[in-house]
Amino acid sequence: MKEFIRQKALELGFDLAGFTDAKPIGHKDAAALENWLHDGCHGEMGYLERNVEKRLSPAELLSGAATVICLAKSYKPEVQQFSNEQDHLRGRVSNYAIYADYHKYLKNKLFQLADVIKTADERARFKFCVDSVPLLERALALRAGLGFIGKNTMLINPELGSQLFLAEIITDFEIEPDKPFVTDRDPCGDCDKCIRACPGGALSAGRRLDARKCVSYLTIEKRSAMTRGEAAKICNSFFGCDKCVEICPYEQRAKTKCDPEFTPDRVARYINLDEIMKYSEHDFNVSFSGTALERAGLSKLKETAGIIKEFKDAKEGGC
């Protein structure tokens, strides 16, 4: 049954599927989360302080949980929408955000996969997770054999890289777990390209990300105004940042996947900043409703657009 479910997941459009039990997250990862929160590395993302018990135990999200089906879908664009990097009238959008909202797309696929399981047990119960549910997805994905955690703190699959949307089904339907992704040596070796490439210095040894220094956090999640020092890190990143991902050797060798149902053309990869500064709420809704950019809101996008324009001289100097 396990391989049948895995094959159906691939047929539905997922690129990876693995299985693990619903036991709590290991002590090492639990302690790392506790220390990360204690040190304030989550910045203004106060929601991460809530439901910590649920993040550490899938069974807290579904009583009687026995299995977590971990799934991943590559979002590495097959054809890059390149623009002149020196065009200071434009700001770059992170690759994941040029698609329509992945939450809705993936959740629909999870529903379809659950229907497959119900053919074996119509009483099976499920909890569907797509990024917005309190769950340590990457730790579970590693446990299910989907990949390893890189020095950029992302889940990396040796063939598909780290541009992966993650999703899970927690179920009381028992399925034999896969072997976790374990190697004798660090898959990253001595490479530290991602750490050196991070414009904010957010990555450190020990696979730790300080969100307060991360450009993705600064351009999406941070609600208070950016300080001058934070603004200087943005360069041309309008929404999110892919630098620690794209410089990774695994990512540069990664395969691309083409899915006609889910194409990277909902949002332009480079956004005209002057147009954003003139946007009304109506313009914003027309352009970005149903996309990841909707999360930031118009005022945040205007703040970032203004910062990029203001610091254009610094960019000309090598930003």
Q: Which helix (H) or strand (E) holds 306?
A: helix 298-310
pLDDT in tens, 293-312: 999 999 999 999 999 999 87
Amino acid letter, 317: G
**Residues above pLDDT 90, as percent of the chain:** 87
Active-site pick, 131, 178, 192, 259: 131
Closest CA to 222 of 101, 52, 46: 46
Helix residue ranges, H only, 43-168: 52-56, 102-118, 137-143
Give the C-alpha separation, 89 to 216, whole Å. 20
Kindly tell me if the per-residue pLDDT of 316 is higher than 50.
no
pLDDT at 258: 83
Q: Please, what's the b/e burial string for 185-204 (b: 16 or more CB within 10 A of its CB; e: otherwise)?
A: eeebeebebbbebbbbebbe
Kindly tell me if the per-residue pLDDT of 86 is higher than 80.
no
pLDDT in tens, 123-168: 999 999 998 889 999 999 999 999 999 999 999 999 999 999 999 9
pLDDT at 70: 99
**Residues above pLDDT 70, as percent of the chain:** 95
pLDDT at 89: 81
Annotated catalytic, 131?
Answer: yes
Average pLDDT in the chain = 93
pLDDT at 78: 76
Contact 44, 221 (CB under 8 A): yes
Contact 214, 202 (CB under 8 A): yes
Q: Which helix (H) or strand (E) holds 127?
A: strand 126-129
pLDDT at 314: 56
pLDDT at 87: 62
Verdict on whether the full-model pTM lies above 0.85: yes
pLDDT at 162: 97
In 3-state terms, the chain is what percent helix, strand and coil (to 5)? 40, 15, 45
Region 103-108 average pLDDT: 95
pLDDT at 132: 82
